[in-house]
Each structure stands twice: as structure tokens, then as C-alpha cells.
Amino acid sequence: MTADPANRIVEALRTSLKEVERLRSQNREILAASSEPIAIVGMSCRLPGDVANPDDFWHLVSTGTDATTGFPANRGWEEFGPSLPRHARTPEVT
């Protein structure tokens, strides 16, 4: 027994309208979530380069500046730490 073509069209339209309403509802939820404020409760870190305060840091991040520098030589640290045994260090290449 085949369904009446008019009934099939009506059912397809009802299904489409239900899907449209579901998508609208989902879109409203996403928009509401995206407009919620973000709160930075606290921030503590060692800042790279010439960054001296959080405002400078956020400017560095927003501009995409690369602030990677070399390992500091003036800290008095050994390359691999004094507690590592000699065999645990990187072998010398000759």
C-alpha cells in the first residue's frame, strides 16, 4: 500500500519545520553561550621578553608576537642539573 503523494509532502514539510525550529533553538543557545563574559580570576606567571605587566602580555598575545628567547645563561644552572649522573647526560658527539 503506497502513501498518498500529498500526505508524503505534508509529512516532509512538517518534518522540515520541526528541524528548522530545532536548529533555531540550538542557534539561540549557542549565541547566548558565546556572549557570556569571561572572568580572569587571577594571573601569575613569568612573562617573556620585555613584557613587564599583564597589559603588555595581552598586547603580545593579541599581536601574535613570538617572544621565545634562548635559555638564560646568567642563572648559575648547569646545563642538565647538578644531580644527574654523568651517564644520564647527553653523550658527546665526536
Query: From residue 63, how far is each of 60, 66, 67, 70, 83 by CA, in Å?
Result: 5, 9, 11, 21, 40
Query: From residue 88, how far is each of 32, 85, 92, 93 by CA, in Å?
Result: 54, 5, 12, 15
Are 80 and 89 within 8 A, CB to CB?
Answer: yes
pLDDT band at 26 (very low <50, low <70, confident <90, very high): very high
Q: What would the pLDDT profile of 73-82 be if each residue is shown by its tens digit?
A: 777 666 655 5
Mean pLDDT of 36-59: 80
- How would you class 10 by CB atoms within 10 Å of its CB: exposed for 0-12, middle for 13-18, buried for 19 or more? exposed
Residue pointed to by grid coordinates 543557545: 29
Q: What would the pLDDT profile of 51-67 be if each residue is shown by its tens digit?
A: 888 888 888 889 988 88
Task: Note the pLDDT of residue 17.
Answer: 96
